[in-house]
Amino acid sequence: MADTASIVHEVETAYSAYAGAFNHEDIATVVRYVASPYVMTIGAHDVMTAPTDEAVRHQFDGALAGMKARGWVKSDFQVVQIWPLSDNHALLMTDIVRFKADGSVLEKGRYIYQVRRGGQSWQITGVTDVEPPYAGPGDHPRT
């Protein structure tokens, strides 16, 4: 049985690697941290599922292309809290600020990722957003 501090550290380390790879536009590495099937529930949009590894790659290629078309150049990721649910499952809440080349903010968001231990690392199995004015679990103030 893993202890809480170890799980939190492992999940945060994996998420940091995922976020760093995304900022470097290294989608091949990004998708190593994303499991299939993958589920995305954002705002009022329809639920998006990527049932296979190929579909996950396609979804992330499209998301990156869409963000770049809107002027994205990098994102800042701040982990708000991690809640271990078992030795092999956790929730991670993060605040993300996406920036344009001129340093202006493209968008801000708070997201909750469901993660699971997958082989040698933790993998994201799903994501949802926390829309203002809601703070999400734990009522943490937004950054």
Q: For the chain, what is the HEC assignment?
A: CCCHHHHHHHHHHHHHHHHHHHHCCCHHHHHHHEEEEEEEECCCCCCEEECCHHHHHHHHHHHHHHHHHCCEEEEEEEEEEEEECCCCEEEEEEEEEEEECCCCEEEEEEEEEEEEEECCEEEEEEEEECCCCCCCHHHCCCC
The reported pLDDT for the residue numbered 5 is 96
Output the CA torsion sign for 86, 88, 89, 93: positive
pLDDT, residue 127, reads 98
Residue 10's domain is classified under what CATH number?
3.10.450.50
The per-residue pLDDT for 120 is 78
Count of domains in the chain?
1
Tens of pLDDT, residue by residue, the chain (143 residues):
679 999 999 999 999 999 999 999 999 999 999 999 999 999 999 999 999 999 999 999 999 999 999 999 999 999 999 999 999 999 999 999 999 999 999 999 999 999 999 877 899 999 999 999 999 998 898 87
**For residue 48, what pLDDT is reported?**
95
**The two structure tokens encoding residue 119:** 């082989």
Q: Give the domain extent around 98.
A: 4-139
Q: Quote the pTM value.
A: 0.93
Strands 72-84 vs 48-50: parallel, antiparallel or unpaired? unpaired
